[in-house]
Amino acid sequence: MEDKIKKSKGDNFNPDISEDISEKKEDAKDLNAGEHEVSKAYRKILEKHEKRKAGNTKSANIAVILICILILITVSFNAYLIKSEKNKENMIREAQAEIEREKQAELDRIKEETARRNKVSAEILNFNDKYLIIRKDFYLKVEDLTKKLSIKVNSIQEIKELTDERIKLMQDYKNKLSLLSIPEVLNDFYQYEINFLDSDIKLWNIISVYYSLDDTSKFDINKINEETKISHELYLKAQQELESVYNKYDLNYYLKDLIIK
């Protein structure tokens, strides 16, 4: 380059200019070197920025993921709370419905029981009206016979006749009782009453035999005592059962005409 300058300029070549050009070249090299350093430094800054930007992006992505997770957890928890609340409400409604069903069942039971009691009470009262007639008739006649036996009689034969009449009264009462329509709740009473009548008929038959004997010294009087005790116990058992049923159905008012002490 310098030779070209020398040739072009010939003998007019100026050394100062050559030095100046050299200095400018050096300066240009320095400038290029500086620009290179600046460019290098700028690239480092850009790399750091990109890394920072990538890090920020990554952090931002993580933050977004965390936020999404939190939102999902919140939504899921809210859904759980709503479902739990609905389940609780359903349980409450079901419990209330069960209480209502139990109340209705109890009400229906009471109605049925009342209707049944009313029906049973009506059956007892229907029986009572008919039973009272034959019972009063029987005990009035028994009372009359007892009075006749309690007064002085003229002969053993008269006593035997009164005894046989008592047996007939018992049999007549038993037959009339068996013709009545007996409510189911009075079945036990009816059986006890029949047992009492059978025992009492047996007792009076023993007494009749006693008075039929020419010689009573050989007769075991304990038979009469034993059968009297049995008959009395059966009578009390029948009376107690009758009272129990009448009291159960609040019909104790009607007992005053039936119970004979």
Report pLDDT digits (tens) over 193-240: 999 999 999 999 999 898 888 888 888 889 999 999 999 999 999 999
Q: Among 8-12, 92-96, 157-161, which stretch is predicted with the lowest mean pLDDT?
A: 8-12
Q: Are 230 and 248 in contact (CB under 8 A)?
A: no
Query: How large is the average pLDDT for residues 10-27?
Result: 52
pLDDT beyond 90 at 18: no
Length of the chain: 261
Q: Are 231 and 223 in contact (CB under 8 A)?
A: no
Domains of the chain: 117-257 (1.20.120)
Mean pLDDT across the chain, nearest whole number? 79
pLDDT of residue 4: 44
The answer to whether residue 43 scores a pLDDT higher than 70 is no
3-state class (DSSP) for residue 213:
coil
pLDDT of residue 6: 45
Please, what sign has the CA dihedral across residues 12, 15, 19, 22? positive
User: What pLDDT digit, counting tens, does each position of 65-121 carry?
Assistant: 777 777 777 777 777 778 777 788 888 888 888 888 887 787 677 666 666 778 989
Is 249 in a helix, a strand, or coil? Answer: coil
CB neighbour list of residue 255: distance below 8 Å, 6 or more residues apart: 242, 243, 246
- Look at residue 234 in the predicted model and tell me its pLDDT: 95
Residue-level pLDDT at 95:
87
Question: Given pLDDT bands bounded at 50, 70 and 90, which one contains residue 52?
Answer: low
Comparing 106 with 172, which gets the higher pLDDT?
Answer: 172
